Chain A
């Protein structure tokens, strides 16, 4: 597995460009998350790719060919904090409900919705932790589950070259105003 933090201009169509690249080059995406960053107009993707180190280098080089991509950090070998968030809806009444609540406690998770027939549990953590919680909850009846996929950040204050804010404001931007990001090719 190779994990990347990818900074992209927040423009319509950017996700499509990234997804299209992975499809075309037959890189296998394990997970992909995207959200805003501290810089206006700039989004950050965490992309986990099922490949080796050499494949990782090709992924990075190819990402840089996309004009809206501003920076790609391969954080596979960097100490990082990785988190996944899941919401799990369990059918639990009576005794089962108490047992589920105890398990939720053990896993330092929370119950965020209660109805006569079901509970919704919110949990964050590593993928392993969520997988294991899911396993113990399964016997009670998982009605529905949603996961965000992994977001990841390097620990400490590793100096990274700064990324400039997009030239034009993201609010007014669309594909017709893509900035020239890191594009040598």
Chain B
């Protein structure tokens, strides 16, 4: 095969195009200029961000919405360090992104040259792998391997730092010769402990805990088949939402710190937990010593390092989730579990009266109402990208997701500022989807310059600012655990309607519940919209398991009926 001679910069784009990339999110600068110059000759859409953190969240949102690898690009030094938060976010949530950074010339490395920073050193613990490329002929192998590593097994971020001379240098481009060595990228699955299927068939009160791995492993159908055949109810982690339809009778809802009370109680009462593609984060287990005390435990994860990490299990299976479930399916028996299911419905009963939806209308605008209305008006079909805080938990509770990859949220790192840029990435990846941002007034102000990106790229994203004038989630902790001493949590902001309009986005302010429907309808008909929902300021997310408390010891919303009864 004849090999063409290209610059490292050309090889970079050639490889990206061959990897299936047609859009990158980035910001130029000196050390990455050769790559930017070469980009013009390739069929690549470049989305100019307003801060490199935005580029990484966009690549991440793109990856989560599509399942494809997202690409972010930045210059050396400050460009690269601005990416750190986004890389860590992608790492915690197993999102496949490739970050490309320019680096000073290889002769200058180590000299504290202008805009030199050791970005491979900085990102070592927050990437799945990273590369320092100092020669043009190393570009192709590094890029190919970066994509293979990012997307294989448990996905994650990979950074490729390319020196300026490597971008400028000429070499023979050999795509085939740069194929990554795939040995070990698919290590064989492994199981230890007792037989998982035996445990499932014998269980009387089993519960499936479904995590992000359901979607990452494309195991949605296998999960449904298993649950339906064996009549096992499913509890979702925050990132698992969408992996199993919310409307399905076996879907109990979210578990954990702000999970449904009946879900947490069911976990504590179950005799078998079947954890699928989740990692027993402290936000879902509460106190480990009292976690599901009577349950045997099965854990399936593609990452063997997750098994027996936080929770000791009886059966540990490492491997591809879909393959494992499909193996179980024929040998799992159909068992009548109506008693267990009926018991869980009973547990739900008392929660219903406490639900904010059932509180008498006191004229206030509640975030839960807003989110629930958006859910109804979008027929549950929107891709919702949330930020971090109270609104994030209300979204998980009151927007009922039926399809995979329809809730995009920063779970592991809990990165405020994630929503707007991640939504831009999601919209770019899925232009036909109706994309909504649900964001707090605090988090929105962290990355709101990306509104300009939205407008420059003519993207249709709807933004619902849940504006409570507080860093709400932190205020809630202060309310419960710091005697309402609201240190640094009251927050002001601009007039968001005027702000949106200044960017050229149709905008509105909503202060009462009766306006919600009209404004949401109007927003849906606009190309891009921003709504400032002025909600109840000191509202609280219930239930809540205080950090480190026993999972069943939830702080519950005071029941209005119980109160009336004692009156």
Contacts and interface: CB of A to CB of B under 8 A. Distances in A.
A136 B456 CA distance: 78
A180 B153 CA distance: 13
A61 B307 contact: yes
B120 A178 contact: no
Given A20-B125, A174-B134, A57 B184 contact: no
B304 A177 contact: no
B184 A177 contact: no
Interface stretch (A64-72, A73-81, A106-114, A119-127): A64-72
Given A58-B308, A58-B309, A177-B138, A184 B184 contact: yes
A16 B125 CA distance: 10
Interface residues of B, number: 38
Contact of B132 (A24, A64, A174, A180): A174
Nearest to A184: B187
A175 B318 CA distance: 29
A176 B305 contact: no
A21 B125 CA distance: 7
Interface centre among B128, B129, B153 (most CB of A within 10 A): B129
A182 B135 CA distance: 25
Interface in A34-77: 54, 57-58, 61-62, 64-67, 70
A38 B134 CA distance: 29
B416 interface: no
A181 B183 contact: yes
A157 interface: no
Report whether over half of chain A's contact residues are helix, strand or loop; otherwise say mixed. Answer: loop
Contact of B124 (A20, A54, A174, A184): A20
B544 to A, nearest CB: 29
Contacts of A13: 120, 132
Contacts, number: 96
B178 to A, nearest CB: 10
A179 B180 CA distance: 7
B142 interface: yes
B185 A178 contact: no
Contact of A185 (B121, B124, B303): B303
B153 A185 contact: yes
Given A183-B153, A185-B154, A70 B184 contact: yes
Interface in B74-128: 120-121, 124-125, 128
A42 B432 CA distance: 50
A49 B187 CA distance: 24
Nearest to B160: A176
B138 A180 contact: no
A185 B125 CA distance: 14
A105 B526 CA distance: 91
B141 A177 contact: yes
Contact of B180 (A17, A58, A180, A185): A180
A35 B145 CA distance: 26
Nearest to B94: A185
Contacts of B152: 183-184
Contact of B185 (A66, A164, A168, A183): A183
Nearest to A175: B132
Contact of A64 (B120, B145, B304): B304
Contact of A182 (B129, B149, B183, B309): B183
B186 interface: yes
Contact of B181 (A57, A174, A179): A179
A125 B307 CA distance: 37
A26 B470 CA distance: 36
Contact of A175 (B128, B131, B303, B308): B131
Contacts of A147: none
Contact of A61 (B138, B181, B184, B305): B305
A138 interface: no
Interface centre among B132, B145, B302, B304 (most CB of A within 10 A): B304
A129 interface: no
Contact of A176 (B134, B181, B308): B134
Contacts of B454: none
A180 B142 contact: no
Nearest to B303: A185
Contact of B184 (A176, A178, A183): A183
B124 A178 contact: no
A69 to B, nearest CB: 9
Contacts of A61: 303-305, 307
Contacts of B181: 167, 179-180
Contact of B187 (A16, A20, A64, A176): A64
Contact of A184 (B130, B134, B145, B186): B186
B92 to A, nearest CB: 13
A174 B430 CA distance: 38
B133 interface: yes
B187 A180 contact: no
B150 to A, nearest CB: 11
B547 interface: no
Contacts of B141: 168, 176-177
A176 B131 contact: yes
Given A176-B131, A176-B132, A184 B305 contact: no
Nearest to A167: B181
A65 B184 CA distance: 10
Contact of A183 (B121, B124, B149): B149
Interface string B368-386: 0000000000000000000
A24 B308 contact: no
A65 B305 CA distance: 8
Interface string A18-36: 0011001000000000000
B149 A67 contact: yes
A54 B305 CA distance: 11
Contacts of A182: 183-184, 187
B125 A24 contact: yes
10 contacts: A24-B125, A58-B308, A64-B187, A64-B305, A176-B133, A177-B138, A177-B141, A177-B142, A178-B129, A184-B154
Interface of A: 13, 16-17, 20-21, 24, 54, 57-58, 61-62, 64-67, 70, 164, 167-168, 174-185
The 10 A-B residue pairs whose C-beta atoms are closest, nearest first, are A182-B184, A184-B187, A61-B305, A176-B138, A176-B133, A185-B303, A61-B304, A185-B154, A184-B153, A185-B153
Given A64-B184, A67-B149, 14 more contacts: A61-B307, A70-B184, A175-B132, A176-B133, A176-B141, A177-B138, A178-B131, A180-B180, A182-B183, A182-B184, A183-B185, A183-B187, A184-B303, A184-B318
